[in-house]
């Protein structure tokens, strides 16, 4: 009787677990339906970025952690942009526009930078209060990771390799040569 009970329950348990896992996999958080307006006036809809891995970084010019990680973001962008990676840097509502523009030009930021003067973007991302805060979305627009504080760039490179199908052996050389040192410059 005990083995009969096990044989009849086991398929039900397996089916239940598979259904639960399928639900969890399909229940990933989707990227907010937002349109970024860059400091140059260009409009970029999040929906238009599908097909790319997208990193949205909320930052401020007066945030030491943000300024420290910016050179590493530039390196990651330069290394992976041609492979399907996009970064959008969103300056916080309290950041003076002139400072954001000056910083962007002075540092030669190669990715889109926007001002969120009316808190529209920060609100649609659930209300950002701490910087840096970073969201990473897969090619389908599903949330892969949310980080409050500085990004773990080793983990970011591993994630980008996986999501973009980059040759891992080649990337070991690239990341070793492109990681910023404590001053944020490539080693």
Q: Tens of pLDDT along 9-39?
A: 655 555 544 444 444 444 569 999 999 999 9
Distance from the Cα of residue 177 to its chain's centroid: 22
- Note the pLDDT tens digit of each residue in 165-183: 997 655 444 544 455 544 4
Average pLDDT value for the chain: 85
Distance CA 66, CA 69 (A): 5
Among 2.40.50.1040, 3.60.15.10, 3.40.30.10, 1.10.8.60, what is the CATH number of 30-178?
A: 3.40.30.10
- Helices 64-80 and 153-164 cross at an angle (nearest 10°) of 30
Residue spans per domain, the chain: 30-178
């Amino acid at each position: 009787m005990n083995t009969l009970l096990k044989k009849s329950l086991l398929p039900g348990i397996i089916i239940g677990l598979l259904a639960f896992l399928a639900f969890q996999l399909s229940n990933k958080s989707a990227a907010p339906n937002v349109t970024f307006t860059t400091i140059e006036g260009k409009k970029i809809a999040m929906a238009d970025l599908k097909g790319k891995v997208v990193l949205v970084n909320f930052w401020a010019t007066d945030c030491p952690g943000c300024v420290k990680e910016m050179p590493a973001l530039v390196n990651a962008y330069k290394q992976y942009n041609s492979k399907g990676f996009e970064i959008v840097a969103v300056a916080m509502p309290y950041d003076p526009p002139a400072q954001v523009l000056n910083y962007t030009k002075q540092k030669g930021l190669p990715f889109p930078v926007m001002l969120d003067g009316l808190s529209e973007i920060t609100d649609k991302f659930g209300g950002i209060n701490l910087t840096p805060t970073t969201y990473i979305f897969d090619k389908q627009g599903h949330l892969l990771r949310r980080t409050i504080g500085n990004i773990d760039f080793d983990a970011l490179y591993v994630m980008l390799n996986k999501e973009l199908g980059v040759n891992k052996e080649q990337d070991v050389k690239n990341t070793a040569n492109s990681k910023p040192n404590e001053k944020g410059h490539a080693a």
